[in-house]
Amino acid sequence: MLFTDYLYENSKEIWDKYLEHPFLKEIGEGTLDKEKFRKYLIQDYLYLIEYAKVYAMACVKSRNLKELKMFNEGIAGSIENETANHIMYLRDDFGENIDEIEYKYKLNLTNESYTSYMKSISLTGTVEDIVAGVLPCTWSYGYIGLKLKEKYKDKLEGNFYKSWIETYAGDEYSKCTNEWIDFTNEICNDLSDERKEQLKDIFVRASMYELEFWNMAYRGE
> DSSP assignment of 107-123, as one string?
--HHHHHHHHHHHHHHH
Question: For the chain, how are helix, strand and coil distributed in percent, rounded to 5?
Answer: 85, 0, 15
Catalytic residue among 96, 128, 137, 176: 137
Active site includes 210?
yes
Task: Give the integer Cα–Cα distance in Å for 204 and 156.
Answer: 32
Task: Give the integer Cα–Cα distance in Å for 83 and 146.
Answer: 19
Q: Torsion angle, CA of 54/73/135/163, rounded to 10 degrees? A: 110
Using the 8-state DSSP alphabet, how is residue 80 labeled? I
Active site includes 137?
yes
Task: Show which residues are catalytic.
Answer: 137, 210
